[in-house]
Structure 1
Amino acid sequence: MDLVYKNEKTLFVLMLVLSLLVWAGLVLGLGWAVLSYALMFFLFYCFAQSALISYIKGTGVRITAEQFPDLDRQILACCAKLGLEREPEAYLLQMGGSLNAFATRFLGRDFLVLYTDVVDGLHDNPDALNFYIGHEIGHIKRKHLSWATVLLPASMLPLVGAAYSRAREYTCDRHGLAACEQAINAEFGMAALAAGGRRWRTMNKSAYIEQSRETEGFWMSFHELVGDYPWLVKRMAAVRALAAGQEVQQPRRHWLAALMALFVPRMGAGGAGGVVVLAVMAGILAAVGIPAYQAYQQKAVVASAYAAGQGASAKVEAYLVEHGSIPTLAQAGVQASAGAPAVRELEIDPKNATLRVLTSIETKQGAGVLVFEPSMDEEKNISWACSAEGIMPDALPEDCR
């Protein structure tokens, strides 16, 4: 049995490429400032993730050879069976009746947390507990936690982010199945998730798997496509098929659900520090996007003002050639509203015919200005030199820089 779900590797490559493109764009957009944002990101992560780790260490019970040696032996055996060389730091945590487990990571150290209710609920069937242990070891072994930050940009995208998350869960279910001595106990472990710490013993698992047929409808398809986890009924069906060496046949999703899900971004990215990480990402994207938009606006204004300045200088030049004197703008036929709204005002110096184009760009010194200064050569040919006051060089045409 392949321990990696068929779509996970493909989705990982797609996520990696998309994320690297975003990170590269941030580096190009921010330059050296990206280092300060990276530091801020790391500090936010440390504060958010350390809160979870501190709670686990300060509230949970550390599983060791001296403390709950039976659980310690189970975890060690599952690590050996699944090829995980470095045992994670394991804890038993009371979570108010929830039957589950999770893996997390902080500063290079992996943690595995078992909820007390799942351990107690499966006390009579320790091999079923191996499914939970193996599942979380799968997350660690596949480095799902290590790659989370790198893949964060793409993980927020509609469809693909949630699809990769669901693929990881299917992969980890395979690890959970492989950790069990008997395949049926993987089903019992999943039954505890569905029916609770007592009813799992008598739950009709075949009838439960039949419920997966209902997932073909629009609403169940839609909510699965925007969710991080496959429906549990489908996960159990997959585990049973794998245990029997059969091809996993899942119901098809509704086509309209996929279309609608395309417009719903995945906002569950990032684990315990997800909200903080998303806020930091939004700040970084704003830091790049807002200046980029402002630069685009300024270029558009300058382009319009430059065209107005060129038009005015051509008319002034024609008047100079014909009359041999410096005109007013009205005499040259330049309209006062030329270039509006990018141009606030056009001015001409009566002494040397220099044109000043006052743009709508606001600066600390006032309006940004394009200056068109005429000069005459020995053959009395007039040429114009363009310069600027208070306008960013990147926004200027080549001959105005």
Structure 2
Amino acid sequence: MSSLIYPKERTLEKITLVLGVVFWLLLIIGTFGVALLVLFVGYIFYLFAQSALISYIKGNGVLLTSRQFPDLHQQFAECCATLKMEPWPEVYILHGNGAMNAFATRFLGAQYVVLLSDVVDAMSANPDGVRFYLGHEIGHLHMRHLGKMFLRWPALWLPLLGAAYSRARETSCDRYGLACCSSPDNAGRALAALAAGHKRWRDLDLEQFCLQVRETSGFWMSLHELTAGYPWLTKRVARVTSREALIPARSKFSYLLALCVPYAGRSGGLFALIIYIYILFFAFAFGLPFLKDVTARFEAIKMVNETAVARNALTNAYFNNRQPPASLASLGVPTGLPNGDRLLYNQQNMTLVINSGGKSIRLIPSLLDQNKIIWRCVAVEGLTTKQLPACKGPR
């Protein structure tokens, strides 16, 4: 069945998998495994949500069998045979409340295809209509699209990449649907019903409808397709009816703006942009103080490390003479450091103060026994106690 897979899907599949795995590894390592607990809690929520969906389908839908709607079950069996689908998923008919749609889903290893009743009713005059929708959804299951999303999820939010992968998957599944149809035009009409509606699809001029793809080359049309998970319907119909030559290239400038819009699934580019702004707001609101705190910690560590030579000299001099030295200069220790930082020494209590760019740390010695001194750090200016390192030693 590899001939049915849209060529770009394989490439995008590998890219999103690698990026997604790298993200998860960095997240787990960076949070010292806490992310695993969060993921576990998220999986529990997923189980409850998905179990609610499956329960609703089983409790309110009609299971397709050889005795229940045998004509539709026969079409389903033919699709599974054509696509070499084993084992067969369960197929349910569910009231669509006016919506024309079908979808596939999984739960704990079991696979399901759901046809909304409006699709089934609308396709009563198209011998291949239901086959196309069945084939499309079986394609998602056969390609294991639903089972591959977890590892890829972080990469799917990336601008251009996530939407491109989603469109490639839909194009592959349209090919699966086409493989179940006796003619490309029947497949095209099944798809076009999503535009023309329950009845008017019968009178639709496919040639004219496919000519509408000429409109998709403009900047705005290109931009909104680049941020969406589905190709424009006119393109999908043109492809399944073998009218590829009609599809124009997208506007090159639209790619520049699309790079600024993360992918948010079926919610569209505007929703993605809102989520993007929301994430940035919280990143700045919470991340900036954290970044400043981390930066201050590194600066404090650097400042304390700069005093190592002076502390060693003071410690050695004290144990040699049993009294604080008169000055740092008497020990050959400069008070001015090469990077501009300065050391201040107090002979009375042998304390050191290091000043660096508006930040000051006082290092206070404590005699533990006759041959051991430890140094305690105290924030003087520009730093907090939490930002200071544990500056013990030398001993």
**Pairwise mapping of residues 32-43 of structure 1 onto structure 2 (< 5 A)?**
32-43=33-44
Q: Partners in 2 of 1:340 and 1:36 — Cα distance?
A: 41
SS of equivalent residue, structure 2 residue 113 = strand
Shift of 1:25: 1.8
Number of the residue aligned with 1:149: 150
**Pairwise mapping of residues 347-358 of structure 1 onto structure 2 (< 5 A)?**
347-348=364-365, 355-358=375-378
Q: Partners in 1 of 2:16 and 2:221 — Cα distance?
A: 25
Contact 1:131 1:180 in 2 (8 A): yes
Note if 1:338 corresponds to 2:355: yes
2:302 to 301, 304, 311: 304
SS of equivalent residue, structure 1 residue 18 = helix
CA deviations over 1:258-311 (Å, ceiling 9, x no partner):
1111121112289xxxx9xx9xxx9xxx9xx99996994475144333244336
SS of equivalent residue, structure 1 residue 207 = helix
| Structure 1 residues 251 and 120, CA gap change in structure 2 (3 angstroms) | same
Q: Partners in 1 of 2:242 and 2:158 — Cα distance?
A: 31
Aligned residues: 354
Contact 2:171 2:236 in 1 (8 A): yes
Contact 1:62 1:90 in 2 (8 A): yes
Note if 1:262 corresponds to 2:283: no
Number of the residue aligned with 1:252: 249
Q: Partners in 1 of 2:221 and 2:174 — Cα distance?
A: 21
Number of the residue aligned with 1:113: 114
Number of the residue aligned with 2:141: 140
| Structure 1 residues 62 and 294, CA gap change in structure 2 (3 angstroms) | farther
Shift of 1:338: 1.7
Shift of 1:151: 1.5
Contact 1:305 1:342 in 2 (8 A): no
Number of the residue aligned with 1:378: none
Q: Partners in 1 of 2:32 and 2:317 — Cα distance?
A: 48
Shift of 1:76: 1.1
Contact 1:100 1:118 in 2 (8 A): yes
Contact 1:90 1:113 in 2 (8 A): yes
Shift of 1:40: 1.4
Tell which deviates more after alignment, 120-129 or 191-200: 120-129
SS of equivalent residue, structure 1 residue 78 = helix
Number of the residue aligned with 2:83: 82
Contact 1:301 1:361 in 2 (8 A): no
Shift of 1:45: 1.2
| Structure 1 residues 14 and 210, CA gap change in structure 2 (3 angstroms) | same
Shift of 1:240: 1.5
CA deviations over 1:22-75 (Å, ceiling 9, x no partner):
122233334554543342132021012122212212222222222212111111
Contact 2:105 2:111 in 1 (8 A): yes
Contact 2:188 2:237 in 1 (8 A): yes
Q: Partners in 1 of 2:199 and 2:141 — Cα distance?
A: 29
Number of the residue aligned with 1:25: 26
Q: What letter corresponds to residue 251 of structure 2 in structure 1?
A: H
| Structure 1 residues 354 and 146, CA gap change in structure 2 (3 angstroms) | closer
Unaligned runs of 5+ in 2: 328-343
Number of the residue aligned with 1:99: 100
Q: Calculate the TM-score normalised by the size of structure 1.
A: 0.77
Q: Partners in 2 of 1:150 and 1:353 — Cα distance?
A: 53
Shift of 1:5: 0.5
Contact 1:5 1:167 in 2 (8 A): yes
Tell which deviates more after alignment, 341-350 or 212-221: 341-350
Percent of residue pairs bearing the same amino acid type: 40
Unaligned runs of 5+ in 1: 374-384, 386-401
Q: Partners in 2 of 1:269 and 1:339 — Cα distance?
A: 53
Shift of 1:163: 0.3
| Structure 1 residues 31 and 345, CA gap change in structure 2 (3 angstroms) | closer
Q: What letter corresponds to residue 256 of structure 1 in structure 2?
A: F
SS of equivalent residue, structure 1 residue 180 = coil
Number of the residue aligned with 1:235: 236
| Structure 1 residues 325 and 293, CA gap change in structure 2 (3 angstroms) | closer
Contact 1:304 1:339 in 2 (8 A): no
CA deviations over 1:154-176 (Å, ceiling 9, x no partner):
11111111100000011001111
Q: What letter corresponds to residue 346 of structure 1 in structure 2?
A: L
SS of equivalent residue, structure 1 residue 149 = helix
| Structure 1 residues 268 and 147, CA gap change in structure 2 (3 angstroms) | same
| Structure 1 residues 239 and 296, CA gap change in structure 2 (3 angstroms) | same
**Pairwise mapping of residues 367-386 of structure 1 onto structure 2 (< 5 A)?**
368-373=389-394, 385=395
| Structure 1 residues 9 and 249, CA gap change in structure 2 (3 angstroms) | farther
Contact 1:343 1:357 in 2 (8 A): no
